[in-house]
Structures are given as structure tokens and as C-alpha cells.
Chains A and B, each alone.
Chain A
Amino acid sequence: MPVVIKKRSRKKAITPKKNSFAQFRVSDDDVILREVEQFLYRQAELLDAKRWSDYIELFDADGIYWMPASLEQITGDGMPSIFYEDRNLMTMRMKRIAHPHAWSQTPAWGTSHIVSNVTLEKVDSRTGDVSVRSRFHMMEFRRDASRHFAGVYHHELRKTKHGYTIRLQRTDMVNGEAPFDYVLLAWV
């Protein structure tokens, strides 16, 4: 049996009159969730488009990109990490990748990220800051070969006048403890 979808006017669905239809009520959290999702999608697009400097701009002045060496770690401070980078180190990485003699950059290299399962874990109603958990899947192509990395993102986002900035991004890769076939050239 095909599912019958009741037709509704498009206009109504997108801009419901003020709470007039209970089924269209958009709670505050839903708005935040949509904003956060868009933020995460944009972040992934910046990586895949290699817009490194725009990517780094997403981070707070003292923001950190962290990929722990093991899933059990609770801090990257004073612990081995795959990445534990502030904006200075991120800038160094960007400059290195852009250098004409970054030999590792010679072969064709590209990535594609999918971000999904976005869940708000904490919303600070006073500041608007949010903790959000999501899952990612990244396919990387480099010199005729593909690799897959997947896992969980945990973002601590700060709400600012101009949108969100990243205080901490934790990237937990399900295959982060496997031997690496080559290295990770940029942030996942």
C-alpha cells in the first residue's frame, strides 16, 4: 500500500501562523538545532573545499581542535593526542599545506564529509552556548586510493553576535587506534 500523504499548502508548512497549528510548533530548541546543524554542515564544506583559513576562523581565539589518541581520554591537556591544536598550530598546518614544497601534497587529494545524527546535549539558556554531538563519515581520496574515517564529533560552541564559534571540537574516530596507512594531512 502506498503511503498517502495529505496535501497541505506549502506556504502553511513553512510559515505557520503564530502557533496556530500544534503540529507545526517550532520550539526554541528546534531553531537552535537547525542553526547548529547548518554550522556543522558549513564546517564540513570548508574542509572539503580546503578553505583552511575560513575553517580556522570558525574557532574561538583560544579554541582547540582535539583528536584524542584513545576514546577513553577525558582531556587532551598533557596527554598524547592525534591532534591537539590551537589556532597558532592550525595556522602552521595551513601554511605548510600551502607551501609549494609540501611533497605530500603533490598527489591529487580530496575529502568528502557527511555529518549526521546531530544531537543537542546542553543548551545554556543564558549565554546561548551549546554542546552538540554528531556523527561524521569522511572519505578521503589520495593518489589513487581511498580511506575512510568515521566517528563522533563533540562541539562546544559559543554563541556570538555573528553566529557560533568553536571553543572545543573533539573528534573521536572509531578507527583512530588502527595503524595509519599514511598520515592525516588536515583536520578530520
Chain B
Amino acid sequence: MTTNGGADLTRLIEPDRVHRSVYTDDAIFAREMEAIFQRAWVYVGHESQVKQPGDYCTALLGQQPLIMVRHSDGAVYVLYNRCAHRGALLCAKSRGNTGGAFGCSYHSWQYRTDGTLESIPLPAGYEGTRFSPGAADYNLKRAARVESYRGFVFASLSPSGPALAEFLGEARIALDNMCDRAPAGEVEIVPTCFRFIQHSNWKIFMENQLDALHPYVTHESTGRAAAELERQMMARKQKPPLEYHYLSAFTTPFNEWDKLQTVNYPYGHCMLQGYMGLRPRDPDTLAYEAVMREHYGAERTERILGVNIHHVLIYPGLSVQPALQQLRAARPLAPNRTLTEIWHFRLKGAPEAIYRRALAYYNLINSPSTMVNADDLENFWRCHQGLAADGGDWVSFHRNAGQDDEHDGVIASRRGTSEAPMRNQFRAWKQYLSSSEH
């Protein structure tokens, strides 16, 4: 594949179609990592992953290996995972507790958990050299900006840009609504992470998250099997578990999906309305709603539980399902390789049955035995294979183009299957790439 990195990248993005090279080109990928993933606010992790001083976990932002760590004063730091001496990774494990300091495995430089250099062996060896302890060069480098929103930690590797709250804008409803659904107003991560390597570009994954045209086709086999099981169980006078409905909902025909709505925000964030009956009326839900009313009062409870959202994308790499307490983070590895990390959360103060509902979704839809993503991943692979070939230069996003309603930079689609979310992501892509052009 020829490289397109020197070309005017924004010419590859038209309002209703994009050039295939943005998915396959090595140089464009490198530019994306720099201009998007190393500048935007990217999700690092949840504060409940690092509860105690010394607790740490690692994350990849763009191509940069980072450590999120809880310091002795309770603050959370995000540091580059790189020793200031000769460059070794400090943390080779993805999580753990490092005690008071990070010690390098190579020559034992020691760093405090805020990244400052604590000690080096045989310091006399540096006398009379340019090495000066205390200078920033000899500390662990910090992510340029770190902010937490209701426990969700984001970092930007660029010193300038909008503050996190401004960046999130209305898409913060993803995090607000997930936390608000907890009677205690906050969530706690469950320390299991299911991870997949997708053999396709990261944008193919992001475009899929809000694609209401695909479930009826891609997930037909699972939708039909689940619907059949529901019928069989009902015929046997058994009550099918609620989570079967998450799968049988895929049999919803095209025209029903089209009645949904997407809302598309600045910075590439987007939201797809819920479709799978996210507010059932079973006894567990009713008991939970009673607890909610105790905490929030009837009116506020209604406002929180009335939020009917399936997915919110926080561009460029996060997909959140507030009502199901799930989160998927996409970590691009190469133009044709994307790591996804999938987490789920407990609602603090909610009955165990509500956790179990999130767990059922996590196990059924998001685990490595998924009967759902199995067919998504197959299609992502097919897309990437096709886009790497010379069978055509453009990717079509014409569906309902020009038929959306725009107010103050927010684009509401009139149709659920509108390709507005994809167009909106490329609107942001173009802005990131063009403002980084020198």
C-alpha cells in the first residue's frame, strides 16, 4: 500500500464518503495516533482500579505506554511507563501494587508514585556530570493533562486543548447516567477485563457501535436462536431469563431500527437511543426503583431511569452503555490491528440483582465466547480486507446524508439507520488532522 501521509489528508474526507486509505495507510495511521489519540482526552481507567496508595494499572494511549497510579496523598497520576535512565519499561505487569516506589528492574532507579526520582544506586558516579536529580528529565514523565470525571480517568498527552468537561460536552450523559443509576451516585469497576484483538482498523469498530442497520443482518443467527429458545421455554411454562431478550432483540426488523434516533455531538461523540427494553418491569427492577426513589426522590429517579440510551461513543476510543454498565475501549495497535478492552461496573448501593443483569450482558455479549461480537469481528475483518484491495476507492456514508437536523453543532438524525454517526466521526477526524497539519 502506498503511503498517503504527506498528502492533504482532509481531501480524503468528503461529507458523505471517505477514501479507503484512511483505514489502511501506515503513514495516515501514524498521523492519527499523533493528531487524535495523543491529543484528545482518551480514557485511561477507572479510579476504583487504583484504590490504595501504590495501586497501579497500565494503559496504552495512542502508541504510548502509560501507568495510572494512586500516590500516597490519594491523588491519581498518569505517568509514562519508561525509566528516565536508559528507557526500560517500569511496569511489565498490567496491574498491581508497587508499594511506595517504582523500582526499575535494570539498574534500580527508584521513583515515587508521583513520578519523581527518589534514589539511584551509587550517586557519587554522577558527581561532576550534567545529571541533576530533581530536574524533570530524571523523573517519570507525566501525561500532559489528567482529569477524572465521576471516577473515570482521562488523559491528554497534549498540554493544550479543551478541558475534559468541555470536551465531553453533552456526551458526558454516558458517564453521568451510569453513575446516577447507582443509588450512591457512583460506580465501581469489576476487575475483570475481556480483551480482543480485532484484525481491522479502529474506525471500523467505532463506526459499528452506533450502526443500527447492521444488527438485523449481522446478528440474525443469534437473534433467531435466542427468540426460538424464548418460545420453547415459554411453551414449557418456564420464564426465559431477561438477558435472552438482549439477543432476541436482534430480530427487530429494519423499519423498527429506523425509528430510533442518533444524536451527534462535537468532537466526534455520538449517541444511539435504546431499543432492547432497558427498563423492564420485573420484581428485581421494581425493588431497585424503590431504592432509587429513596435516594433521589420520585421525580429525579424518573429522570435518571427514563434515559433510554443504548450506546454513547466518546470519540476517538470509548464506547459506553450506561444502562448496562459496560464500557469498551479501543486501543489501536496498527492500521489493521485494534485491541479492545471490555469492562463492566457495579452500581454502588443497588441490589445484587441489578449487578447480575449487567453481568449477564457482560458474559453473553462481551466475553470471549460471545455469540454477538463473533459475527461483528468477522464483518470487521471482511471490511478491512476489502478496503485494502483496489476494488474501489471510496467508503459510502450516503444514507440519509443531508437529511439530519443540525443545531449549534449538534446533529440529530431523523432516522435510526442514518449514517450520521459515521459522518460525524469523520467531521471530528478531519478537524483533528487538519489542525495538526504543519
A143 to B296, CA, bound (A): 53
| A154 at interface by CB-CB < 8 Å | no
Given A80-B359, A82-B368 in contact, is the A183-B374 Cβ separation under 8 Å? yes
A183 to B356, CA, bound (A): 23
Given A103-B379, A179-B339, A183-B369 in contact, is the A92-B225 Cβ separation under 8 Å? yes
Give residues in B with beta carbon < 8 Å to A. 190, 192, 194-197, 199, 217-218, 220-222, 224-226, 228-229, 233, 244, 247, 339, 344, 352, 355-356, 359, 362-363, 367-371, 373-375, 377-379
What's the interface size class on A, roughly?
A: 20 to 34
Please state if A92 and B229 are interface contacts (CB–CB under 8 Å): yes
Please state if A82 and B220 are interface contacts (CB–CB under 8 Å): no
| A50 at interface by CB-CB < 8 Å | no
Please state if B225 and A180 are interface contacts (CB–CB under 8 Å): no
Given A103-B375, A104-B374, A183-B374 in contact, is the A96-B192 Cβ separation under 8 Å? no
Please state if B197 and A102 are interface contacts (CB–CB under 8 Å): no
| A101 at interface by CB-CB < 8 Å | yes
| A181 at interface by CB-CB < 8 Å | yes
Q: Which residue of B lies closest to A101 (CB)?
A: B220
Please state if B196 and A183 are interface contacts (CB–CB under 8 Å): yes
Residue pairs across A and B with Cβ atoms less than 8 A apart, 23 shown, are A69-B192, A70-B192, A78-B352, A80-B344, A80-B362, A80-B363, A82-B367, A92-B222, A93-B371, A95-B229, A96-B221, A97-B221, A99-B225, A102-B221, A103-B379, A104-B375, A179-B196, A179-B197, A181-B196, A182-B374, A183-B196, A183-B368, A184-B369
| B52 → A minimal CB distance (Å) | 19
A residues near B218, Cβ cutoff 8 Å = 103
| A91 at interface by CB-CB < 8 Å | yes
Given A92-B229, A183-B196 in contact, is the A84-B374 Cβ separation under 8 Å? no
A residues near B194, Cβ cutoff 8 Å = 69, 80, 82, 180
Please state if B367 and A69 are interface contacts (CB–CB under 8 Å): yes
Q: Which residue of B lies closest to A91 (CB)?
A: B229
Q: Which residue of A lies closest to B244 (CB)?
A: A92
| A178 → B minimal CB distance (Å) | 8
